[in-house]
Structure 1
Amino acid sequence: MKELVENALDAGALRVAVTLAEGGLARIEVSDDGCGMTPDEMALALERHCTSKLPESLVGEEGAIEAVTTLGFRGEALPSIASVARLTVESRPRGRDGWRRTVDNGALASEGPAALPPGTRVVMEELFARVPARRKFLRSPRAEYGACLDAVRRLAMARPDVGFTLEHDGRRVLSVPPGQDRPARVAALTDRGLADNAVAIDWVREDMVLGGVAGLPTFHRGVADHQYLFVNGRPVRDRLLIGAIRGAYAEMMPRDRHAVVALFLDLPPRDVDVNVHPAKTEVRFRDPALVRGLIVSGLRRALDAAGHRVVQRPAEDALARWQAEPVAALAGPQGWPVASPSTSLFDRSPGFVAPPPQARAEPAWNPPPASLVHPLGVARGQVAKTYVVAEATDGLVIVDQHAAHERLVLERMRAALAGGRIAAQALLLPEVVELDEPACDRLEARLDELAEFGLELERFGPRAMLVRATPALLGQADPRGLVADLADELAAFDEALSLKERLDHVAATMACHGSVRAGRILSVAEMNALLREMEATPHSGQCNHGRPTWVKLAHGDIERLFGRR
């Protein structure tokens, strides 16, 4: 099916219709409105290794395949299918009559005139009917249908200018119109929520261009089934590209989660080999390091521009997190009576005593600032000594103070590293941290790297490290906890990681120790300072472990909670 759809695209089709029966095991039909074929061209297309897709000026030349810009070029698909199934090809060029040719398991069964609109229709039936040893190794109809759907989805994503439909057992399961822009097509084929929770990518380096869309780090999935990669318009599954995506999202996403991305890489055909796998899903690059750097830089730049954005889930999701519980006329905290919900303020007896306020408030010496110019609003209070509550123009913002400050500290450390090294704060009395010997060995091997972060360590016997200085950015850090966590983090390092990736791991661990802890009471000024810095810091929408740092309850959501909508 993939090969037939690629042929339709190579023919210049603007609409492609795919029909499957029993997951494609019983029947596959692909119709298009492309250029069509004459009877002679149709007969040639069904011959092995005959193709019209190589540039005429380079036929027979050594570099002909490298100059190919079509999806197919080997001349193997149609004759291979026809050798193991019943294949009927009907085609009509514009301004000419149509023609039909049927090949049954390699033998010509019939041919003659056919009535059809301009374009081509290919029907495959009875796959492996005469090769039972091959047919029994096919997967179930449901599994084969899933593979076909994924292939059509990827090809439709690669060509937003072409309309696609897919029907399975009489039910239409996919339909996208021609002429869509790339972000709209990607969102239509993946997740509708991606349109509001993604950033556009547009990055050029030398003669390579990277485009597409990338989900915010908090818009992730448990499996990597929503990572779509294209090289020169061809859907591919390439380890280099997948690794580059993982590197770009490092320290912005939980390690067991996967980004949602659609990346389109265009580069000169001479710099990529698409002929290394029969299915043409794997490629080899002439300069893999350059390609990896382009992808990491392009994704990082786009995610940096997202600033403090974080996934905002639909209103139903937000409302589902709230529970409406009946209020009983029971004693409140410290024995204070609680009024029944049906009791009006005007009906309460004179002896009724209202409970004292249980929350902390600070005197407002100046009028509270307006929230109009601040996306994350202005602080109105703190809940459970952990969450900052702020009022924005369009709703209520709740910030996890530890997660948010952790990201801010990490970004400060990265900025300091970019300028050289992080300043160290010498300890008045060096502190001895006892660890097991392998942990000390790991730390000793990284002394120079850790010193760049302002953490100065020294081996102090077989099972101890001496801490002489800690990063000044961390303030009053706990040297014991910091060194122990770093030793554990180093144990998890993959030796294949680049130096920068290892340093990012170290920075994230240090930032966790230097951030405001949950349980600390913040002043209103501290809360507002945290909000303002978040608005000005890239990636502040998620902590170093990929969790969101803030959520918003829109005014409409609040109104639903109280039955106003």
Structure 2
Amino acid sequence: MDTGGPGGRIHLLDPETIRQIAAGEVVERPSSVIKELVENSLDAGAQTVEVEILTREKSIWMIRVTDDGCGMSPEDAVLAFTRHATSKITGIDDLANAGTLGFRGEALASIAAVSATTLTTRLRGGGPGGARVVYRGGTCESRGECGCPEGTTVEVSEIFFNIPARAKFQKSLQGELASISTVLESIILSNPTIGFHYLLNGKERLSIAPGGGLVDRVGALFGTDVARRLIPVREQREKVSVGGVISHPSITRSNPYQVLISVNGRSIYSRPLIAAVKEGYGSLLPADRYPVAVLELTIPRDEIDVNVHPSKRQIRISGEREVASGLSAMIRNALRTQDLRPRDVGLSADTLPGQGWKGPLRYEEQGKGPVPGVREMFPAALRTTDQQLRQTELAPPGPDHIPLIPEMECLGQLGDSYILAATARGELVIIDQHAAHERIFYDQVTEATRKERISQDLLVPVVLEFSPREADILRTAIPRIKEEGFGIEEFGKDSFAVGAIPVILGRCEDPGVIREILAEIIRGEGSPGMERERICRIIACRGALKAGTVCTSEQCTRLIRQLARTRDPWTCPHGRPTMIAFSRERLDKLFGRT
């Protein structure tokens, strides 16, 4: 057996090393401190919680969490810093029915082990005096009485001062602030009756009064546009009841960072439950899109295990498949009660064929005449397609250009999504018009990034509202976004004005482009080259012709010609094929001619 130690000897670690290892499991970064302290405040029955942050030299210097909860006696204030000292459970049997957010008694001890921590508290109804306890690096420096209001304040500074390696691997200041906003969003939305205040360097970043509706809180965090398009979900089944809100299918994100799920008041992360929410939408969402959702699941305590991970963000659920299946069904039921027709797409009510109509609009070119009620749409739609193709009209190829695909004759359009074409050798080629135009767009965007980026000013700036988390990330990303040709500036609290867009986008003023770029940055940090690659893909995808876009034969021919001039006409930037070819021999075989 390999013991793994020098000379093969096993030895006990010293208490200081043990404290720092244990602290590392609970306190990963400043947002971990806030999560643990705010959860303690909620467990103490607080009705209002205030989080204050001070920064210094591009890092978080101090965190202060103040609550109006039950407070502690002087004796308990001292005992609270002892590892595994807790008022929330008394023994192993209580773990199966833990109803509090915390229960291990590790938070304060872990935080105090890697910082300078001061706890000031006064027991509710316990007299005029309070208590103050000061720790630094796991050692108690002072304790005594003091005057303070009822409740508890914990001040944490110099985080990781005694673990330089951990401090070195912290993210940038804006990255840490974004992580803090993420934690606060989850807690605020999973505790809709509690008031929260968030201050950064003395300035109020967020203020939410106790009570109020969940929709109001979503609006405060995610913006009024999202709040206006929320659908309530409330249903009870044998093993789970669900309450909360989900977004109209027109409100989507490219990853599930705004699918927030809590179980019995505890904000959790669960891939199966997130997948269940998306599954509930069925074909209403594209395969790579996610809704906005804030859902509270109530499950019998003896059916869940919360003692899984030090951060308590993950839990085990007995009969998880059954719970996930029930959640999907509840999402479907909620959506069935709604009018899910697209909104704000430039169509007035009288352009829709009927109140119950939910299908795609079609353009009949071959002598059948226009569809009743939608006559005015088609000229505009064709003009838009023309404009998009003009934007990607590539320069004539040079004398050395050798096209990678053969010349093709357009035969027509199938399902407003695929172009049917034939080669001189008798091949039938089916072209995905979106994938093809996306490849064309992508080549132009990437070429533009190598040269001077040209922007065009918008006549009227587009104002975007973001959650505090998104705003923190966007502030960091503004220089990179500007490099891609977007002009974007702060415009009030957590709002930004887009005054310019890349010329390659034409007259597109869709705020979703910025949101897509933001979502990609939220998804994960990579090298600058990888991030630019993702941004180029987003611009190309959003600017390209969509499946379901009507094209004339002349427009289809132009698209084929543009595709032939690209460097890699075979796939879109995401790797999907742009075309599939059937040889004459293959067609003969399909029809039994061989």
| TM-score between both structures, scaled by the size of structure 2 | 0.54
Question: Which residue matches 2:210?
Answer: 178
Residue 29 (structure 2) pairs with residue 29 (structure 1): no
| 2:258 alignment counterpart | 226
Paired letter, 2:45: G
Cα distance in structure 2, aligned partners of 1:106 and 1:261 = 40
**Contact between 1:388 and 1:399, CA under 8 Å: does it hold in 2?**
no
Deviation at 1:157, TM superposition (A): 0.6
User: Are 2:74 and 1:43 equivalent residues in the alignment?
Assistant: no
Counterpart of 2:99 in structure 1: which amino acid?
Answer: T
| Matched AA of 2:174 | R
Q: Percent identity?
A: 33
- Alignment partner of 1:250: what SS? helix
Deviation by residue 1:25-69 (Cα, 9 ceiling, x = unmatched)? 311100001111010111111111010011xxxx33x43111110
Question: How far apart are the structure 2 equivalents of 1:53 and 1:284?
Answer: 20
Aligned residues: 351
| TM-aligned CA deviation for residue 399 of structure 1 | 13
* Correspondences of 1:112-511 after superposition (within 5 Å): 112-312=144-344, 389=373
CA gap of 1:375–1:86, structure 2 versus 1, over 3 A, is same
For residue 98 of structure 1, what is the amino acid of its counterpart? Answer: G
Relative to the length of structure 1, the TM-score reads: 0.56
* 8 A contact 1:157–1:182 mirrored in 2: yes
Change (3 A) 1:312 1:398: farther
- Counting only pairs closer than 5 Å after superposition, residues 511-526 of structure 1 correspond to structure 2 as none
How far 1:400 sits from its partner (Å)?
12
Are residue 53 (structure 1) and residue 83 (structure 2) matched? Answer: no
What is the SS of the residue equivalent to 1:34? coil
Counterpart of 2:111? 81
CA contact 1:382–1:388 (8 Å) conserved in 2: no
The aligned counterpart of 1:93 is: 123
Does the C-alpha gap of structure 1 residues 390 and 210 become closer, same or farther in structure 2, counting only changes over 3 Å? same
Note the alpha carbon deviations across 1:285-339, whole angstroms, 9 max, x for none: 11011111111001000111113443447xxxx6xx9xxxxxxxxxxxxxxxxxx
Amino acid in structure 2 at the alignment position of 1:190? F
Equivalent of residue 63 in structure 1, options 88, 93, 106: 93
Describe the shift of the 1:52–1:517 C-alpha distance in structure 2 as closer, same or farther (beyond 3 A): closer
Contact 1:88-1:123 within 8 A present in 2 as well: yes
| Structure-1 separation of matches of 2:135 and 2:222 | 37
What secondary structure, in the 3-state scheme, does the structure 2 residue paired with 1:245 have?
helix
Following the alignment from structure 1 to structure 2, what is the Cα–Cα distance between the partners of residues 102 and 231? 35
Task: Map Cα deviations across residues 482-524 of structure 1 (whole Å, 9 max, x no partner).
Answer: xx99xxxxxxxxxxxxxxxxxxxxxxxxxxxxxx99589xxxx
Give the Cα separation in 2 of the matches to 1:116 and 1:386: 76
Q: How does 1:6-21 map to 2 (within 5 A)?
A: 6-21=39-54
Deviation at 1:388, TM superposition (A): 6.2
Point out where structure 2 has 5 or more consecutive residues left out of the alignment.
1-33, 382-414, 416-428, 431-547, 553-594
Taking the aligned partners of 2:335 and 2:59, their CA distance within structure 1 comes to 40
Q: 1:517 to 1:84 in 2, by over 3 A?
A: closer
Q: What RMSD in Å do the two structures reach over aligned CA positions?
A: 3.9
Say which SS state the counterpart of residue 12 (structure 1) adopts. coil
Q: Deviations over 1:397-427 (max 9, x none)?
A: 99999xxxxxxxxxxxxxxxxxxxxxxxxxx
- Aligned amino acid, residue 39 of structure 1: P
Counterpart contact for 1:86–1:105, Cα < 8 Å: yes
Question: Does the CA-based 8 Å contact 2:53-2:64 persist in structure 1?
Answer: yes
